[in-house]
Structure 1
Amino acid sequence: MFRRTFWFTAGAAAGVWATTKVNRKIKQLTPESLAARAADKAIEAGHRVKDFALDVRDGMVQREAELGEALGLNADPELASPRRLAALESGEDPQRGGTPKYSKNPTYVERSTYSYNRNEDH
């Protein structure tokens, strides 16, 4: 008698547990629930992408400052900017001693007398 009561109670408890588990899973798989979860995941992904973009932008600014410092571009920005603009407007190449940068044909650009390998200074 006790054996039957024990197994009856155990079976009823297992049935209640399984029914509860199945009902929760069914509620999770409804279209409204799936849409809400997808929207939450999309918002979370958007925040991650935004954080990544901000980190990249901060890294760019930091690296630009390092390069500007290494090249001496940040020494005196008031003087560097007008001189560069004046050189560009006059059509002269300051690295070649002020010689004209372009020939009579505006589509032809003279080749410089030096070759520059960007890997030399690393």
Structure 2
Amino acid sequence: MFRRTFWFTSGVAAGVWATTKVNRKIKQLTPEHLAVTAANKAVEAGGRLKDRAVDFALEVRDHMARREAELGDALGLNAPVDRELPAPRSHAVIENRNSPKYVEGPAQRSTHQTYPYNRNEDH
């Protein structure tokens, strides 16, 4: 008699366990539950992607600042600045022989003056 009771109880327990397992799986496959699960997975993936993007952006900025410093050192932009003013430059005096004060002759007396070739007129 105990043997039959044992096997009957074992069968009932296995049936209850299997029924519970099947009912849980059926609930997981409803459209509402699938939509909620997909939304949660998408939010998690978006969070991970955002974290990686932020890490990547910070790393890029760090490398960019380091490279700018290297280039500044190579070009001498980071050298100490001399606060004194530079010495005044000496300018060479260039006379324009084509100006009206140097043109002589009948060209001055006419209403329309023509001057010799002036290289500045071509520009």
TM range (shorter): 0.5 to 0.7
Distance 2:10 2:49 in 1: 50
The residue aligned with 1:25 is: 25
- Greater C-alpha radius of gyration: 2
Give CA-to-partner distance per residue, 1:14-69, whole Å, 9 cap, x none: 00010001101111111100100000000111111111111111011000011011
Higher relative contact order (CA 8 A, sep 6+): 2
Matches within 5 A, 1:1-122: 1-72=1-72, 75=78
Taking structure 1 as the reference length, the TM-score comes to: 0.59
Secondary structure at 2:38's aligned position in 1? helix
- 4+ runs of 1 displaced by more than 4 Å? none
**How many residue pairs were aligned?**
76
Taking structure 2 as the reference length, the TM-score comes to: 0.58
Where structure 1 has 5 or more consecutive residues not aligned to the other structure, the ranges are 77-122
RMSD: 1.6
Give CA-to-partner distance per residue, 1:64-104, whole Å, 9 cap, x none: 0110111117738xxxxxxxxxxxxxxxxxxxxxxxxxxxx
Identity %: 62
Where structure 2 has 5 or more consecutive residues not aligned to the other structure, the ranges are 80-123
